[in-house]
Amino acid sequence: MNKDPKPGNEFVILWHGEAYWTGGFSNEEGYQSWPTNGFTLPDQRGAYYSFVKITNENETYFNYSTSLGATFPRLRINYLGNLYLYERLLVECSTLSSASNEGCVKQTLPGCRRHDYTFIENSAYIMDGDVFEFNESDNLTRVDCQNRCLNNCSCVAYASSKQDDIGCKIWTRIPSIEMSQNAPTIYLLEYKAKPNRWWIWLIVAVGGIIIILLFSLYYAKQKKHKAEGERERKQKMLIQELAGNAIPSTVDDEGKKRNNDGKNSHELHVFSFESIYVATSNFSTENKLGEGGFGPVYKGKLPNGQEIAIKRLSKSSGQGLVEFKNEAILIAKLQHTNLVRLLGFCIQEEEKMLIYEYMPNKSLDIFLFDPTKKYILNWKTRFNIIEGIAQGLVYLHKYSRLTVIHRDLKASNILLDEEMNPKISDFGMARIFGSKGSEENTNRVVGTYGYMSPEYAMNGVVSIKTDVFSFGVLLLEIVSGKKNNSRHYSDSPLNLIVYAWQLWNEDRGGAVAVDRGGVVLVVTKPPWVLGWCRGGGSGWSRDRRGSWVSWVGGARV
């Protein structure tokens, strides 16, 4: 044990010329340890002994003395490098424990000993295996032997060669162990597992996940609440916009409708989702009438016995809120015997439905293009349908408060009541003109190809002539019983319009008509049939004043 010769005040224990331990003690004046990063010898002043540090110009030294008649204190270092005061252990340093004991200098170990190891003392077994014993002349202590084992990456155990902990032998492999009562003490190298703190990390992870989930749920709930509030606000605005003077549709305790029998009032009614749900038997497939561009159409029955048709806006529909509002607002203002009658609507969250009077014969296309049902439509019925559609269009174009262009006039949008009277329906695509307006351009061309006028399909020009063209196509379909966009003619690949025009030029106009059982079109050259389909891209040869209805009436035979 020496005083450090380098600048500074500390004690040093050397091992093979290298610092093994450093430390100091508390002085009398300030009770301050020196060095500050070393071990401080305990001050026992007033009990057994005291340390005194003396510094002058020539030297620095320390001494210690007993007190209270105690036996002269003795500091000693044993052969293992441990520092004792009497029998009291003050310092114990080893290569493995030096990282934790105060004052011990950390030893450098090879890379294979990076983990935390410890030696397990074993004195009950005799080990056999690959053992290497160092020369006795090396005078290796047990500490030296331990160091040799740690610096040999193959070493798995060590022991002193003699009983007095002198000499050294190490094992690199232990194939077998036998129990013995007189076995020498052997130190087995064992990995010192760090305290398993997995549960701490588990708690932290689970806690973090719970916090994230709670935050996510809170955020989702707030977002949902905000979205619901916004949806309710928009829903109220939409109901106010559509309803105007609408009457809420209610059902009393006996299941009878109040204030809304749907027959004698022209008011628009607001239906609850529950009432529609019950009326359609939970939108059952048995009550499904069909599906159009707006969405599925269901048949329903109100508590008062009135049958209704419900158009339910589909999420996958190409039409949306704009078309829904357009149809509800527009058709509610139109009153004509040849226009389908809107009874009311239902808006609840994502559900948007329009409620119409029920048409038992459904749509015209079901009869017109069916191989069997088409013969139900005799010429008188067909002519009545043509005239009814014409009357409805004249009302839209001329006699309603605003000029209305339907833009999607076709057979599937003509509904038939129980007496086969036509009703124009589906006003979602309709366009409204002011009293002075007669023509507009649009970038959004909607409708059904085959029924669109050339100037509308190609240039987006919208006018009443757009509907007149569609009416002409529909008229040809009613007369012939064939679709315009289908090829039914083996001798010609042309569509129905061109085919009819070709027959006209060949003086065979009557060949277009249905012929069964003597029911034929008696007018051989009906100019009122083709007049609405002429004019190419300009459409100006199509009459726009409604006098063409007189042509239809005058053609009756």
Cβ pair 54, 67 in contact under 8 A: no
User: Of residues 35 and 234, which shows the higher confidence score?
Assistant: 234
277 Cβ contact list (under 8 Å, min separation 6): 283
Grade residue 301 by pLDDT with cuts at 50, 70 and 90: very high
Longest dimension (CA), the chain: 150
- pLDDT on residue 180: 65
Helix axes 379-394, 464-480, angle to 10 degrees: 170
- pLDDT on residue 200: 84
pLDDT in tens, 263-272: 444 567 888 8
- pLDDT on residue 278: 93
CA dihedral 370→427→399→364, nearest 10 degrees, is: 10
pLDDT in tens, 45-92: 444 556 667 778 888 777 766 665 556 567 778 777 777 777 777 777
Catalytic residue among 165, 408, 426, 467: 408
- pLDDT on residue 260: 42
3-state secondary structure of 376: helix
- Residue 194 carries which DSSP code? P
Region 241-357: CATH code: 3.30.200.20
| Cβ atoms < 10 Å from Cβ of 383 | 19
Residue tagged 């509610």 (tokens):
332
Region 364-554: CATH code: 1.10.510.10
Is residue 551 scored above 70 in pLDDT? no
Identify the CA nearest to 157 among candidates 169, 144, 171.
171
Quote the tokens at residue 535.
């004019």
b/e burial code for range 482-519 (CB count within 10 A of at least 16 → b): bbbeeeeeeeeeebbbebbbebbeeeebbebbbeeeeb
**Range scoring the smallest mean pLDDT among 163-177, 366-380, 515-529:** 515-529
Grade residue 338 by pLDDT with cuts at 50, 70 and 90: very high
- pLDDT on residue 225: 86
**Range scoring the smallest mean pLDDT among 22-36, 137-151, 305-319, 533-547:** 533-547
Distance (Å, whole) CA 371 – CA 362: 17
220 Cβ contact list (under 8 Å, min separation 6): none
pTM for the predicted model, two decimal places: 0.54
Sorted by where each begins, the domain ranges of the chain are: 2-91, 111-191, 241-357, 364-554
Is residue 533 scored above 80 in pLDDT? no
Quote the tokens at residue 191.
């990995």
Considering Cα of 108, then 114, then 116, then 117, what sign does the dihedral take?
Answer: negative
Per the annotation, the verdict on 408 as an active-site residue is yes
